[in-house]
Structure 1
């Protein structure tokens, strides 16, 4: 429930990050702008948060952005060149695989940027420059506030770089009102509890998203999986016909973050739960056969910050109703 405060703190800090030498970024701006590519490296929630920011960073910077899971990068010794900027994302700043990947990139000679929630962490000390997201302490094993803060940390920074004036102004306007929108969407708590009650005996859950909200689907599924101990998969909606559609029937709940695949899922009698903007239900599903989660509408690149919160609430209530510990998921520890 502290997401609005963490968002507000981060937004106030964003002016410092961009106008002064916050984390040493300013001294390396020229190198970043001339990078052949930007590589985001992380694990779990940190990876998903970077994935959400990727489309906008590509749009605003004009630089290709690639994604790497830290352990996979190490296993295959993936190529990182000196003219790349490697961005390492870790809530704790102590994630073992991410730190090993950092050592690998440093030996190659690439510029290494850190994004973390922990001042003085190994990641903060060993990278050339970086950003502290100021999300506040994450008490539980599963990160939530940090995920919500990572996204618009990158967005707030890159929106002030190579970008059209109109787009930058629209993002800035929406950023300033974001804490209020987060508070508004948290009012869906009771509605998400009712949804959790209806799903308590379900064995699996699919979440479809595309564009900015592919990462939302991935992160929402991860939260349900790690704390509610329920099988859940986040899937790219555009890939639905290439396998996942075979799973859909009247018994399988499917959350769709409003995309063009809704009609195809309805045709298979899918048990649909649709997340869409407030007042847009008739356009998304005219026959009213679906259950809706209505969220405030913001600029498209910021929508994942809003859309992930109902899924976090759903994961929380499923966990409580199933009798599990929200802060200490089975077999997991803080990394």
Structure 2
């Protein structure tokens, strides 16, 4: 019916293709053949800048958590259109990583050219072989998502996350910040994630199709998440506004009391991302504050977490995976929710108004 739905269902394969051959299932060792940076280059990095636009920027926000935790390198995440207009404190000990589906995004391209002039090494995470960014970068990590026709990015995003997770393991291995046992465990979890997603997709779609009957005519929508899942709240909100034209905002759960909680009443739908993870208790406390103010809650959480059903009737359950990989898994219901709402509203899902697939102008 729509390319977007087809591409949502192609995500397990896109993740397999991105990870395939790059991680040794025996040792957890990561090989990135197009990296072209020496071990000396990689161990000499003091700081990393991740530069991207739109959905790719959300992938960068997740990668910041991963790289800082596992590779021990401070990371700054910049929106490309802002990055180039400030005084950049960049030198040869800084690595700049550009993330772009097309490899042609004008602002991101201008950003890496500037960083390169200042002495930074450049790596690009990209889906298009031979694109301008891959030609101008020192090294590339290709996502193997295949062509993406729908304007709203789905499989390109989850493939970027898979590639960035691989890049994190690669950096951690080169810098000696992660032991082989942990690397092997995380590598295996990443490989098996594709199967988990493949199994949950049809079930989730049926549940969401039914669920959205109470929500598809909303005027506004809030998405909230904490830690690694905060960028997924941003991504879920972006998808919904892109294709259904509903005004949607993503927030860090802890930010609600700093202003947005004023918006919450019996007419405001809120999607809360609440997996059983390191910040679970904090997330639950936040969604209970929303419930107390009569917000209309949809929760996405870990299978077997019956407590969520005491907060709202509208709960979507996902299998338990390693919490570092929750951002990839929890993206799936956010995409399907946006798709089903837009489809129910009769919107042109694949070609939303005013949007282009690749933004090649500034």
> TM-score higher than 0.5 here?
yes
Q: 118-127 or 260-269, which moves further after superposition?
A: 260-269
| Mapped partners of 1:303, 1:84: distance in 2 | 29
Q: CA deviation at 1:289?
A: 3.2
Q: Is the 8 A contact 2:12 2:195 kept in 1?
A: yes
Q: Is the 8 A contact 1:57 1:158 kept in 2?
A: yes
SS at match of 2:48: strand
Q: State the match for 1:207 in structure 2.
A: 223
Q: Structure 1 residue 3 and structure 2 residue 11: aligned?
A: yes
Q: State the match for 1:146 in structure 2.
A: 156
Q: 312-321 or 120-129, which moves further after superposition?
A: 312-321
| Mapped partners of 1:294, 1:153: distance in 2 | 26
Q: State the match for 2:248 in structure 1.
A: 232
Could you state the TM-score of these two structures normalised by the residue count of structure 1? 0.94
| Mapped partners of 1:221, 1:185: distance in 2 | 21
SS at match of 1:99: helix
Q: State the match for 2:300 in structure 1.
A: 275
Q: 164-173 or 244-253, which moves further after superposition?
A: 164-173
Q: CA deviation at 1:254?
A: 0.5
Task: State how 1:151-300 maps to structure 2 within 5 Å.
Answer: 151-160=161-170, 161=173, 162-187=177-202, 188-258=204-274, 259-260=283-284, 261-280=286-305, 282-285=306-309, 287-300=310-323
Q: Could you list the per-position Cα deviations for residues 50-107 of structure 1 after superposition, in whole angstroms to 9, with x for gaps in the alignment?
A: 1112111111111011100000112324332321100000000000100010111111
Q: Could you list the per-position Cα deviations for residues 128-147 of structure 1 after superposition, in whole angstroms to 9, with x for gaps in the alignment?
A: 11111111111111111011
| Mapped partners of 2:125, 2:253: distance in 1 | 29
Q: Structure 1 residue 135 and structure 2 residue 160: aligned?
A: no
Q: State the match for 2:74 in structure 1.
A: 64
For structure 1, which runs of at least 5 residues remain unmatched after alignment?
Answer: none
SS at match of 1:41: strand
Could you state the TM-score of these two structures normalised by the residue count of structure 2? 0.88
For structure 2, which runs of at least 5 residues remain unmatched after alignment?
Answer: 1-8, 275-282
Q: CA deviation at 1:159?
A: 2.3
| Mapped partners of 1:164, 1:283: distance in 2 | 36
Q: State the match for 2:34 in structure 1.
A: 23
C-alpha RMSD over aligned residues: 1.8
| Mapped partners of 1:263, 1:6: distance in 2 | 37
Q: Structure 1 residue 12 and structure 2 residue 27: aligned?
A: no
Q: CA deviation at 1:176?
A: 2.2
SS at match of 1:316: helix
| Mapped partners of 1:130, 1:28: distance in 2 | 13
Q: 1:148 to 1:19 in 2, by over 3 A?
A: closer
Q: CA deviation at 1:170?
A: 2.7
